[in-house]
Amino acid sequence: MTLTLKRPITLLLLCLMLSACSTTNTGNRLVVEPPSKSQIKSSVKDQVSMMLNAFTPVAGQALPNNTVLATYAERGYRPIWIQDKHIAPSIYKLVTILEKANSHGLNPIYYHVGIIKHYLSLKSPTTQQLAEMDVITTIALSSYAHDISNGRYEPQLIDPNWQLDAPSRDWKDLLSLNTAGEMVDSLPLLAPRNPQYQVLQKWLVYYQQLAKKEKDIVVQPGSALSIGDEGPRVSQLRARLVQLGDIRFSTRKVDEDRFDKKLKEALQSFQHRHHLSADGAAGANTIQMLNVPLKKRAEEIAFNLERWRWLPNKLEANRIWVDLTNYSVDTYLNGNRTTMKTVIGKPDRMTPVFKGTMTYMVANPSWRIPHRIARENLLPKLQADPNYLGKHGFRVFSSWSIGAKELDPTRINWKNIAPEDLSFRFEQIPDEDNALGSFKFMFPNKNEIYLHDTPAKYLFRRTDRAFSSGCIRLEHAAAFAKNITNNSPQANVLASVMKSKKSKVITLPTYIPVYIVYFTVVPNANGMPEFRNDIYHRDELMERAMGYKAFHVKESL
């Protein structure tokens, strides 16, 4: 494609040095000569470092500028987007992709779309302008490739309790391809391939487009609406459920002002996917949830797309998936999936997000109480009742060393011990009242988090189950133990140990990856977006740190 561009540049980057292209004087007329390959190559080399400095990333953004510099050096500073004095057609395809970055919850302004289009509009670009365009386009390509595969932001700069970040190098490999066309064609392959990401992305686009075309339909507050009710508020409820996709378009005639059975079923669908009590009545909580603006929902989806980009692009077939906002654990083994309820950390003792590898379990475990729990929970109980340890099967030792002497807890004046001075080691013996129950499942990590059984089975009947001190309690720990040792010699060991009631460490036949994840929006079984309670208020951190709206923002020059 030849350079057929329309208007002179009106914005020059202040940090760039200006240079002129070669000219000849014919009478009184100045004729501009096309730059040569060597001129363009030389100018690209001059501009790379300056352009990279001009587009230094803002704190918290993981822009891969060093990779751009290395890419040009490996190419001998040959331009990427200019071929035989023609602009590669793929640059226009790239611009189209970058303009649609908001469909992934990324803002197109981050990828310098307006600046690239401005260079493309030049009628007779100089050597330097061509070089500038080449470099800024490569910066945009590289930044988008990185962001779509690894996420734009460093997760621990947003949330210290988010420790799961699995960067991919595939985006760097893209820059090693031979032609600009190959690079651009490979871009879509970098986005997470997980079906949940792809479904969420489609819903993001739906909410974005809907918010542009329509105003939010608001259900006016008032008394609860239920089957048999009539009036304009019922009509608002029906229209809002149509807008949100819970009622599919139908040609059949309905009485819009009447609350009928179909409307109740649609409302129950909405309540299910917003973790509300699915009673089919529009009470205050349901109406409040119905009236959350479309733009707000789009932003929430965008936050969760970014979280998916912090995960590995491809997940292991065999894995344990602890879903914190769903209070559940899914076990994927040998093509089978099992699921059960969990209890997770309280909001003031959040279960962190990270990845580990489960290597062993302990049957009939004793519980060595962590320092923090001993100081904050156990010591106050001992100060209120010196006999608390004996009543609940605890032993106390003089220190945390291996050979520490066991002490008589009744001979210790607990009321005179300040929490910061508590240095004893406490262990709860294996029995039916042990806080760890009959099993604990270990994936060694710095957080000292593990999965375990619990005697407090009644908590699994609760809808919201954030009650632990950080570890994850399993609803059916015995079934989980059998599942991860199935058809192995360890299964026989497990059966024998459970009969003996003795404590035993059992190495797993196969080590299993463990993912502890946190999503506030996920697709449900019907492909609809399920909006969950933000238990740990992590969306607020995302909004504050990312500081953008999940909509297209026109880049001004």
Active site residues per annotation = 452, 471
* Residue indicated by tokens 């010196």: 386
| Structure tokens that stand for 1 in this block | 């494609």
| Structure tokens that stand for 509 in this block | 């036949």
SS (H, E, C) 316-359: CCCEEEEEHHHCEEEEEECCEEEEEEEEEECHHHCCCEEEEEEE
- Nearest to 226, CA basis, from 173, 158, 151, 278: 278
How far apart CA 185 and CA 188 sit, in angstroms, is: 7
- Nearest to 550, CA basis, from 144, 95, 201: 201
Q: How many CA atoms lie within 13 A of 13 on its CB side?
A: 22
Measured between its terminal Cα atoms, the distance across the chain in Å is 25
How far apart CA 371 and CA 199 sit, in angstroms, is: 44
Please report, as a single letter, which amino acid is at residue 386: P
Contact (CB, 8 A) for 182 and 272 = no
Coil, strand or helix at 393: coil
In our burial notation (b when 16+ CB lie closer than 10 A, e otherwise), range 464-493 reads ebbebbbbbbbbbbeebbebbbeeeebbee
Residues 6+ apart with CB under 8 A from 504: 362, 363, 364, 493, 497
> E strands, 438-481, where?
439-442, 451-452, 466-468, 472-474
